[in-house]
Amino acid sequence: MSPIALTPDQQGALWRQRMFEAHSAMTAYLIEQHRPEDLADWVQVTEKIYHDLPSPQVGDSTQWQAVFFRAQALIEQFIVQRAGVYDLDDWATATGQVYRALEPAGQGDPQVAAERLGRQASLYGTRFDIQALSAKGALFKVHHCGIWDYRERARARGVPITLKSACTYCTKLLSSLVQAKGCNARWELFSDPQDHGCEWTITPDSLNSTLTGRLEHERDY
């Protein structure tokens, strides 16, 4: 499958949906943890996330990209500051549940799962491809991760970056999105001086009951 090309309107809509998925998932997670003592801080975080939003009809998707990245950074910070109470894995799982509710079609189809990963990767200008595999599987391979480039540009602008590596949360989130489609994935990260990338082998849940990942050269990330 060729890399997915989204129109500016489609890009804006997906950035907006991702922001909603992330925030709604964290709200649900807080409720499940029975943490009313965190409500005041969470309301303040919410105000910052939803402050000065662009119009839903805006054609410049970079504005919604900035909103999403702001939300991501604020929620990561909220979680990390409360280590032992909240966990990135559980937030990722909750995000997958919101995604499944918003896009219920395609359950058990690795191609549909891979297509969401591709749509998401295309937002960052990531170089990737999607291939069909035997036994109804799919391969999603990132040759150069645009998230790394975007994070470093944001860091240079003074945006607070809580996590040292984009992969720390991204692998958890992508695993959750795949699982939300009733599929499983084996993933591997790789890097060299020029590129950061990853490879995801996605199969129907019935073919692979274990969701696993392998991080090579962990010190490089």
What pLDDT digit, counting tens, does each position of 55-76 carry?
Answer: 877 657 889 988 998 999 899 9
Strand, coil or helix: 199? strand
Report pLDDT for 155. 77
CA–CA distance from 84 to each of 112, 148, 178, 179 (Å)? Answer: 34, 27, 26, 25
- Residue 15 pLDDT grade (very low, low, confident, very high; cuts 50, 70, 90): very high
Report pLDDT for 186. 94
Report pLDDT for 58. 62
What pLDDT digit, counting tens, does each position of 76-127 carry?
Answer: 999 999 999 999 999 999 999 999 999 999 999 999 999 999 999 999 999 9
- Give dist(CA 114, CA 178) in Å, integer: 8
Q: Identify which has the larger pLDDT, 194 or 145.
A: 145
Report pLDDT for 69. 87
Report pLDDT for 156. 82
What pLDDT digit, counting tens, does each position of 39-58 carry?
Answer: 999 999 999 999 999 887 76
Residue 211 has pLDDT above 70, yes or no: no
Report pLDDT for 207. 53
- Give dist(CA 187, CA 201) in Å, integer: 6
- Residue 4 pLDDT grade (very low, low, confident, very high; cuts 50, 70, 90): confident
Q: Is the dihedral of CA 130, 68, 23, 214 positive or negative?
A: positive
- The stretch 1-13 carries a mean pLDDT of 80
What pLDDT digit, counting tens, does each position of 174-208 carry?
Answer: 999 999 999 999 999 988 777 889 999 999 987 54
What pLDDT digit, counting tens, does each position of 149-175 carry?
Answer: 887 787 788 877 777 777 888 999 999
Residue 2 has pLDDT above 50, yes or no: no
- Give the pTM: 0.85
Query: Residue 133: in which H helix or E strand, if any?
Result: strand 127-133
